[in-house]
Amino acid sequence: MARPATGQTPVHSVRVPAHIWDRAKERAEAEGKSVSEVVTALLQRYGSKQHAESRGEAKN
């Protein structure tokens, strides 16, 4: 069940194969998280990694 929109962050749409979405949703729920929380965390890491690489910092 989704929580009500708060207006705090914009909504974005992405296309994800159903089998990937379903596995991610199951794992997120098992961890007490939403898929949105998981995607946000992954995108933050992805953006930070690219930023670090563009500055010549170590890749990991």
- Measured distance CA(43)–CA(10) in Å, rounded: 15
Check residue 35 and give its pLDDT. Answer: 97
**pLDDT at residue 1 above 70?**
no
25 is a domain residue? yes
Residue with the bigger pLDDT between 6 and 18: it is 18
Q: Give the number of other Cβ atoms within 10 Å of residue 40's Cβ.
A: 13
- For residue 44, the enclosing domain spans 18-54
Check residue 7 and give its pLDDT. Answer: 72
Check residue 39 and give its pLDDT. Answer: 97
3 is a domain residue? no
9 is a domain residue? no
28 is a domain residue? yes
Q: pLDDT tens, 20-54?
A: 999 999 999 999 999 999 999 999 999 998 677 77
pTM (whole model) above 0.85: no
